[in-house]
Structure 1
Amino acid sequence: MQLIDIAVNLTHPSLAVQAEALLERAYAARVCQLVLTGTSLNESEASLALCRQLDSSGQRLFSTAGVHPHDASSWNGASSNTLKALLAQPQVRAVGECGLDFDRDFSPRPAQEKALEEQLALAVELQMPVFLHEREASQRLLEILRDYRDRLPAAVVHCFTGERSALYAYLDLDLHIGITGWVCDERRGTHLHPLLKDIPGERLMLETDAPFLLPRSLRPKPKSGRNEPAYLGEVLREVALHRGQSQEALAAQTTACARRFFEMPAILDEAAAES
């Protein structure tokens, strides 16, 4: 059984200091490939550097490059060219993390929309998939995406936590859906359980969003309280339960989906547990 974690914030200080050991634990837990998330131009450069530093094979670690809505105020006239250069690197497989966050509004909404639209335009130009963030902004995100969707090869709404209406609208636009440990949270994630069956298997992917969103159902709980890719199996277990699938079938399905989306090479099964 192989798993792919499509969202790891490996540049986060709590993970970067133990990156090599963290990857060893991930590979031992059958998480054979990972996508490192770029959330600003600097973090995108750092994620790319970690791919180069920690994966000499070029087959295990990949990254995204983009500007998160929290950082949208930093977007300026030079940002598009800087991002375009990052997206040309072979390890970078998607534009993002970009999108809209009307929950925290760390950047003004007009700035968020401008940064998103320019990143979508880059994705169209380069014919790359998009890695999307959305909080309390599904309607506006859909309005913007509709102008680009027919020209985009693919897009995933990462860490989906929304309601049924948002999910169906995303699926109607032929978007992929990423599910995290939020689904394991008995306080705020149970509304997702009946929705999981409605996500087509060929558009479903799994992620930890480490070091965030440690699955609350995980036993034993790590003393650090931090999430990491080795715990992706707990997300798999919960999603498989509510989809009525075996963990093996869901792992095969979501792994194949992630490989298609990010154009990752196949990994020999014997290599999946190597450090």
Structure 2
Amino acid sequence: MQLIDIGANLTHESFGHDLDAVLTRARAAGVAKMIVTGASREHSPKALALAQAHPGLLYATAGVHPHHASEYTDECDAEMRALHAHPQVVAVGECGLDYFRDFSPRPAQRRAFERQLEIAAETGKPLFLHQRDAHGDFVAIMKEFEGRIGPAVVHCFTGTREELFACLDRDWHIGITGWLCDERRGAHLRELVPHIPHARMMVETDAPYLLPRTLKPAPKSRRNEPAFLAHVVDELARDRSEDIATTAARSTATAEAFFGLGGEAMRSAAGMSTPRPEGGR
């Protein structure tokens, strides 16, 4: 079983002391590739550095999460654009809207989101999106960019049935995490995941967050890590009435196509860059 974790926050301080061991455990658990999430001015460059240090295993996104939207200045925009010049950066984001916590003012969130959508439109890179309690504004802003942006994945989907089908109707991809395993908050997802076409579904841990509550025994640290992705896939396969090998193979194929992780991307990450075709990936 070869898996791709499309969202792991490996620049988080909790991985600072044992990242090599974390990566070793991930590979042993069948996680063949990981996308390191870049979600701020501070951590997006660190995500790229990790991808450059582990070619073929780690890739990166570069963006500014809505929690940090207040930091999205002209200088920040220039920094993000410089990061996206690197082939190891395979998606724009994590970006979007979060009205649940409102750590940044909503107007600032919308402006930062729009500026990052402009980067996606100009680079042709896919989008790694965040949305929580902001579905209406999120869809409205994305609609403004229809026809200009490429594929998009709604990372760590936790929404309603109506929100899921609104995303699928727009051909957006869906990222499933250990939220599925949370009987308090994620039980509704078990009824929704069978409706996600396999060509639109990917899996992720969002490590170190969202440790699957059904994982036994749970690590004493309560830290989630990519090695636990197989547990999420096992639960997902059961809810979809599939065998785990089928769910794993399909989610991996979808992720490879979405992020462009085939031979060309791997050669580029190893420093053997080839020109990007004009107009997209």
Q: Aligned residue for 1:15?
A: 15
Q: Could you tell me whether the CA contact under 8 Å between 1:59 and 1:265 is conserved in 2?
A: no
Over 3 Å off, 4+ runs: none
Cα distance in 2 for residues equivalent to 1:229 and 1:2: 12
Unaligned runs of 5+ in 2: 264-281
- Listed one character per residue, the Cα deviations across residues 186-225 of structure 1 (whole Å, up to 9, x for unaligned) are 1111101111011110010000000000000001111111
In the TM superposition, residue 265 of structure 1 has moved relative to its aligned partner by 2.6
Q: Could you tell me whether the CA contact under 8 Å between 1:149 and 1:173 is conserved in 2?
A: no
In the TM superposition, residue 60 of structure 1 has moved relative to its aligned partner by 1.3
Q: Aligned residue for 1:273?
A: none
- Listed one character per residue, the Cα deviations across residues 132-179 of structure 1 (whole Å, up to 9, x for unaligned) are 001101111001101113221100000000000110111111100000
Correspondences of 1:51-200 after superposition (within 5 Å) = 51-53=51-53, 55=54, 58-200=55-197
Q: Aligned residue for 1:235?
A: 232
Seq. identity, %: 52
Cα distance in 1 for residues equivalent to 2:142 and 2:52: 32
Q: Aligned residue for 1:27?
A: 27
Number of residue equivalences:
263
TM-score by length of 2: 0.92
- Listed one character per residue, the Cα deviations across residues 220-270 of structure 1 (whole Å, up to 9, x for unaligned) are 11111110000001110111011111100000000000001111136xxxx
Alpha carbon RMSD of aligned pairs, Å?
Answer: 0.8
- Listed one character per residue, the Cα deviations across residues 92-133 of structure 1 (whole Å, up to 9, x for unaligned) are 000000000000000000000000000001100111100000
Q: Aligned residue for 2:260?
A: 263
- Listed one character per residue, the Cα deviations across residues 61-107 of structure 1 (whole Å, up to 9, x for unaligned) are 10000000000000112222211110111110000000000000000
Whether 2:213 is the aligned partner of 1:216: answer: yes
In the TM superposition, residue 19 of structure 1 has moved relative to its aligned partner by 0.7
Matched to 2:110, the amino acid is E
Cα distance in 2 for residues equivalent to 1:149 and 1:261: 18
Q: Aligned residue for 2:5?
A: 5
Whether 2:248 is the aligned partner of 1:251: answer: yes
Cα distance in 1 for residues equivalent to 2:173 and 2:106: 24
| Other structure's SS at 1:133 match | strand
| Other structure's SS at 1:41 match | coil
Q: Aligned residue for 1:45?
A: 45
Cα distance in 1 for residues equivalent to 2:230 and 2:257: 21
Unaligned runs of 5+ in 1: 267-275
Cα distance in 1 for residues equivalent to 2:91 and 2:208: 21
Matched to 2:41, the amino acid is L
